[in-house]
A and B are shown apart, each in its own frame.
Chain A
Amino acid sequence: MNRPARDQRSFARAIGGAFALSAAASIGLTVVYALGGQPQIEGALIGASLGGLALGFVWWGTHLLPQGPFVEEREPLTSAPAERLAFTEDFTRLAQETPRRRFLGRMLLVAVGALAAAAVFPIRSLGPGPGRSLFRTAWRRGSKLVTEEGGPVAVGDLPVGGVVTVFAEASVGVADSQTILVRVDPASFRPLPGRETWSPQGYLAYSKICTHAGCPVGLYEQSTNSLFCPCHQSVFDVVDGAKPVAGPATRPLPQLPLEVGPDGLLRAQSDFTEPVGPGYWNEGS
């Protein structure tokens, strides 16, 4: 399928032009680079230099080169029976000339299996075992609540409706200890049974790690007393023990028992009483 010679010549000119454009862009790129570089111009020039090559090749392939169609026959994919037989014989030579081959085969399997099992052990070096670390955080009895900047929180610091992220003193930034401190009107809610002493003057502290997949539960909406997780939109009800009310989370955010020290600073009564963060197999033990 040959095109008229005139057509061919004009295509050749176009292809040459595309390659020339590419060359010019590449030279420009070198210059821009030498002058100190500028990402947008670099990007455009790279685009032009590669694009020119692309156009040239595609035009060359579709307009100047033989279009066929050409036909190629397939060879069978299966070996001829004689070839197969010959191979089987070659391979079974091992078995034919070995006495007690079943025994040897089994021992070989045991040896290789034992080696493979031993080779698994270095995996253990990759990390410490979980132990009890998932059950503990940095909070201790009497830990001061401090903000990200490291300052303690006094009982008068937060207005009703206020919210701040706090850590245990000396553990600022430690991921598993991040806690969200909210102040609500003490008259507007009733603490859960067993937690009556945990929320002095309306201060409620919950683990900030979402119990769904661990994102920080950062958004507090005062009008509904809800905490939102931005990752998969779980919503927790602050005045109802941070029970999940929407989204995929299933467990309430663990609550940190608070007290007011004689110095007027907020402190923890103890660590969290249940594991913080997303669930795992043995979390209940």
Chain B
Amino acid sequence: MITRPLARWFDDRLRASSFAHHALNKVFPDDWSFMLGEIALYSFVILVLTGTFLTFFFTPSSKEIVYQGSYAPLRGTRMSEAYASVLKISFDVRGGLVFRQMHHWAANLFVAAIVIHLVRIFFTGAFRRPRELNWLIGVTLLALGIFNGFTGYSLPDDLLSGTGLRIAYSIALSIPVVGTWTAFLIFGGEFPSQDILRRLLITHIMIVPALLVALISAHLAILWRQKHTQFRGRGRTETNVVGSKLWPTYAAKSLGLFFGIAAVGGLLQINPIWLYGPFNPSTVTSPAQPDWYLGWVEGALRIFPPWEFRSFGHAVPNPFYPAVLLPGVTFLILYAWPFLERWATGDRAEHHLLDRARDHPARTAIGAGAFTFYVVLHFAASNDLLAKTFLVSVSAVTWAFRILVVTLPVLVGAITYAWLSAVHRSEAEGVLRVPLAAFVPVEPPPTDDEGEHVEPPPGHGLYDPRSTAP
């Protein structure tokens, strides 16, 4: 085998053995919910690989040409060079369509995994000291992921993406005081401008990916330094980590996950831009919807009442509130959450053991309410489709959503709070006399689904956390 001499060669020059030894023995907890961040990471790797391939064939130009390629239904149509190049990728470049679909799937999965990862981190309290830094980085990654998803969605210059850009331009325009300048500087003039596709491409393939790489690296380095959190369970304490070793068990599972994620993308069709047709500023398809991760903004745009602020010849137009203010406040609260909670609870201690949702009824209730809010907005983005399906008027559906978006989160939050507090109390009394209590594990889960037992290995001096916990 060549590996041994090779390893020696490097070690003679880098003195890497001790670090490598530590690294390979690093322990990773075995809970499935810890895979979510990994899924995001691997989606990113797939995005970079497939995206690089696509870059070789994409032309970021809005110059109008007449299509002569191999997709017959559009032959002879006037379209931008950008749209024509995406048709070429889909129909004329060998393997091109598969790469495009994998890229698009991975993008959707990337954001989805980040969102669910964030939800997991939130409800288990994993953002508490010492992990606030990684929370901040993670929230930034989410924002960048959504943003880059949108820039990528806009590149093909098909009818849907062009409509999305038109709306984005109008949203930029709606910002008080600096809106017109912002829109003109971003788009290089009044919509539709000649420059925007090139700018989107540079942003999409260089600026944001570079930021993502830097932040993901920092995220992982900090994780490495601070080690994973873990759920409560026998043998698990604030001062240890219990799980499998990086090498070989964890690495094998993790590689399996990577290939599993990559496999999904090849199989399913997504975003058949050739059916939408080229962008033309005076046509629009109906229904027009963005990719899922912008559904909540789209929903907010649809159901926000026709209000706006106007005085002394100045206006803060309607799209500003649902599409600038709401996302701004959303991310502000996300960023601030660890500090808000610390301020509210006064808890400044270090935490490596995770909470269960019911350990912290207030946090869980707020989280559940907030989550409901965004889910309702998400469905509101389909108000026209729902109206069609249920044969009611769009405005009735819109009104229903306007009411739901205010009431449902409060309701969900209140019910969650009451229920969890009851579970919490009765647990303290040692009896579970609460409706639906079967859905919460009574004991701290000592095993995971593999049925592994955490027996203290001999000589490890493990102790029961509950007997020593403060």
> Out of B170, B241, B303, B454, which one reaches A213, CB within 8 Å?
B170
> Out of A50, A73, A130, which one reaches B240, CB within 8 Å?
A73
A175 to B308 Cα, complex, angstroms: 25
A50 to chain B, nearest CB (A): 4
Whether, in the assembled complex, B252 has its beta carbon less than 8 Å from a beta carbon of chain A, the answer is yes
A208 to B192 Cα, complex, angstroms: 15
B320 to chain A, nearest CB (A): 9
Q: Which residues of A contact B443 (CB under 8 A)?
A: none
Which chain B residues numbered 166 to 221 have a C-beta less than 8 Å away from chain A?
A: 166-167, 169-171, 173-181, 183-193, 195
Contact A69:B30 (CB < 8 A) given known A54-B256, A233-B302, A279-B315: yes
Whether, in the assembled complex, B239 has its beta carbon less than 8 Å from a beta carbon of chain A, the answer is yes
Contact A248:B263 (CB < 8 A) given known A58-B257, A72-B241, A278-B173: no
> Out of B94, B255, B305, which one reaches A37, CB within 8 Å?
B94
Whether, in the assembled complex, A176 has its beta carbon less than 8 Å from a beta carbon of chain B, the answer is yes
B 234-277 to A, binary, CB cutoff 8 A, 1 in contact else 0: 01001111111100111111111111101110110000000000
A54 to B256 Cα, complex, angstroms: 4
Q: Nearest CB to that of A176 among chain B residues?
A: B190
A129 to B225 Cα, complex, angstroms: 48
> Out of B94, B102, B174, which one reaches A36, CB within 8 Å?
B94
> Out of B180, B240, B262, which one reaches A134, CB within 8 Å?
B180
Contact B314 A284 (CB under 8 A): yes
B442 to chain A, nearest CB (A): 22
Contact B315 A77 (CB under 8 A): no
A273 to chain B, nearest CB (A): 16
Whether, in the assembled complex, B69 has its beta carbon less than 8 Å from a beta carbon of chain A, the answer is no
Q: Nearest CB to that of B387 among chain A residues?
A: A233
- The count of residues in chain B whose C-beta lies closer than 8 Å to any C-beta of chain A is 108
Contact A43 B101 (CB under 8 A): yes
A58 to B450 Cα, complex, angstroms: 13
Of the candidates B27, B282, B288, the one having the most CB atoms from chain A within 10 angstroms of its own CB is B282
Contact A213 B460 (CB under 8 A): no
Q: Which residues of A contact B245 (CB under 8 A)?
A: 66, 68, 70
A46 to B106 Cα, complex, angstroms: 15
Q: Which residues of B contact A133 (CB under 8 A)?
A: 189-190
Contact B256 A61 (CB under 8 A): yes
Whether, in the assembled complex, B304 has its beta carbon less than 8 Å from a beta carbon of chain A, the answer is yes
Contact A54:B314 (CB < 8 A) given known A60-B252, A232-B301: no
A57 to B253 Cα, complex, angstroms: 6
A 41-68 to B, binary, CB cutoff 8 A, 1 in contact else 0: 0111111101101111111111001111
Whether, in the assembled complex, B310 has its beta carbon less than 8 Å from a beta carbon of chain A, the answer is yes
Which chain B residues numbered 282 to 332 have a C-beta less than 8 Å away from chain A?
A: 282-288, 301-308, 310, 313-319, 322-323
Q: Which residues of A contact B98 (CB under 8 A)?
A: 39, 42-43, 46
Whether, in the assembled complex, A249 has its beta carbon less than 8 Å from a beta carbon of chain B, the answer is yes
Contact A246:B395 (CB < 8 A) given known A69-B242, A178-B282: yes
Q: Which residues of B contact A58 (CB under 8 A)?
A: 252-253, 256-257, 260
Contact A213 B266 (CB under 8 A): no
A76 to B200 Cα, complex, angstroms: 45
User: Mostly helix, strand, loop or mixed at chain B's interface?
Assistant: mixed
Q: Nearest CB to that of B178 among chain A residues?
A: A281
Whether, in the assembled complex, A223 has its beta carbon less than 8 Å from a beta carbon of chain B, the answer is no
Contact A250:B308 (CB < 8 A) given known A68-B452, A70-B242: yes
Q: Nearest CB to that of B350 among chain A residues?
A: A77
Q: Which residues of A contact B314 (CB under 8 A)?
A: 281-282, 284-285
Q: Which residues of A contact B117 (CB under 8 A)?
A: none
Which chain B residues numbered 127 to 165 have a C-beta less than 8 Å away from chain A?
A: 130, 163
Contact A72 B240 (CB under 8 A): yes
Task: Spot the interface stretch: A3-11, A106-114, A120-128.
Answer: A120-128
Whether, in the assembled complex, B26 has its beta carbon less than 8 Å from a beta carbon of chain A, the answer is yes
Q: Which residues of B contact A118 (CB under 8 A)?
A: none
Whether, in the assembled complex, B95 has its beta carbon less than 8 Å from a beta carbon of chain A, the answer is yes
Whether, in the assembled complex, A257 has its beta carbon less than 8 Å from a beta carbon of chain B, the answer is no
A149 to chain B, nearest CB (A): 12
Whether, in the assembled complex, B359 has its beta carbon less than 8 Å from a beta carbon of chain A, the answer is no
Contact B95 A230 (CB under 8 A): no
Q: Which residues of B contact A173 (CB under 8 A)?
A: 280-282
Contact B177 A281 (CB under 8 A): yes
Whether, in the assembled complex, A189 has its beta carbon less than 8 Å from a beta carbon of chain B, the answer is no
Whether, in the assembled complex, A247 has its beta carbon less than 8 Å from a beta carbon of chain B, the answer is yes
Q: Nearest CB to that of A55 among chain B residues?
A: B256
Contact A57:B317 (CB < 8 A) given known A43-B267, A278-B170: no
Of the candidates B303, B317, B394, the one having the most CB atoms from chain A within 10 angstroms of its own CB is B317
The interface of chain B, by Cβ under 8 A from chain A, is 25-27, 30, 94-95, 97-98, 101-102, 130, 163, 166-167, 169-171, 173-181, 183-193, 195, 225-227, 235, 238-245, 248-260, 262-264, 266-267, 280-288, 301-308, 310, 313-319, 322-323, 350, 352, 383-384, 394-395, 398, 450, 452, 454, 457, 460, 462
Q: Kindly list 9 other residue pairs between chains A and B, CB separation below 8 angstroms, not including A127-B188, A213-B170, A214-B166.
A: A69-B30, A69-B244, A133-B189, A218-B283, A218-B284, A233-B302, A249-B306, A284-B313, A285-B314
The interface of chain A, by Cβ under 8 A from chain B, is 1, 33, 36-37, 39, 42-48, 50-51, 53-62, 65-74, 77, 123-124, 126-130, 133-134, 148, 165, 173, 175-176, 178, 208, 212-216, 218-219, 230-233, 244, 246-250, 277-285
Report the 4 A-B pairs with minimum CB-CB distance, sorted nearest first: A279-B317, A57-B256, A61-B252, A58-B256
Sampled A-B contacts (12; CB under 8 Å): A43-B98, A54-B258, A59-B256, A72-B242, A74-B352, A129-B181, A175-B191, A212-B301, A212-B319, A244-B306, A280-B179, A283-B315
